[in-house]
């Protein structure tokens, strides 16, 4: 938490587009700042612009993972049940980033983007399945209407 104040102070020096985590090539290399909070880290290094982009991405991922929230892990089709698990993991990820930023680990950073991709892919599968079911219902209703 001590690093959070330094991150906010550093971020406020360049609030729009931010500044690197501590390396200033004009005065030489300094030790980097790691505030142990991904939101403060993005604010510090990319400013409000970058933090807003990251928060927008998280919002869109959260919205994409909502179809699984009411699904049953036992009785629902696999994509909906898997989305429920992804949604829970996503919420845990968002909360966990308050205390540690994922970008510090050179291998975990790839897992995070793979995880984000799984949310989008599963959301697309669920949506295509719903569109297919809707088209099937509409075509059967249209076929029935033609017989009347």
What pLDDT, on the 0 to 100 scale, is given for residue 27? 60
Read off the pLDDT of residues 93-125 as tens digits, 9 standing for 90 and up: 999 988 877 777 777 888 999 999 999 999 999
Residue range 48-74: mean pLDDT, rounded: 89
User: How far is residue 124 from each of residues 65, 75, 77, 87, 144, measured CA to CA in Å?
Assistant: 10, 20, 14, 15, 30
- What contacts 124, CB < 8 A, 6 or more positions away? none
Question: Three-state DSSP class for 24?
Answer: strand
Cα distance between residue 143 and residue 124, in whole Å = 28
Contact in structure between 129 and 79 (CB atoms under 8 Å): yes
What pLDDT, on the 0 to 100 scale, is given for residue 22? 60
- The pLDDT confidence band at residue 148, using thresholds 50, 70 and 90, is very low
What pLDDT, on the 0 to 100 scale, is given for residue 117? 96
Q: Is the pLDDT of residue 131 over 70?
A: yes
Q: Which tokens is 24 given?
A: 């200033």
Least confident residue range of 54-58, 110-114, 115-119, 131-135: 131-135
Please tell me which residue, 99 or 28, carries the higher pLDDT value. Answer: 99
């Amino acid at each position: 938490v001590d690093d959070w104040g330094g991150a906010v102070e550093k971020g406020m020096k360049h609030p729009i587009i931010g500044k690197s985590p501590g390396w200033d090539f004009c005065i030489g290399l300094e030790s980097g700042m790691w505030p142990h909070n991904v939101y403060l880290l993005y604010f510090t290094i990319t400013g409000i612009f970058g933090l807003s982009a990251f928060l927008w991405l998280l919002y869109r991922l959260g919205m994409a993972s909502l179809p699984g929230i009411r699904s049953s892990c036992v009785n629902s089709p696999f994509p909906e049940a898997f989305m429920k698990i992804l949604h829970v993991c996503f919420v845990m990820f968002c909360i966990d980033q308050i205390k540690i930023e994922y970008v510090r680990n050179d291998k975990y950073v790839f897992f995070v983007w793979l995880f984000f991709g799984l949310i989008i892919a599963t959301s697309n599968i669920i949506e295509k399945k719903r569109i297919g079911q809707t088209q099937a219902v509409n075509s059967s209703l249209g076929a029935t209407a033609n017989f009347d």
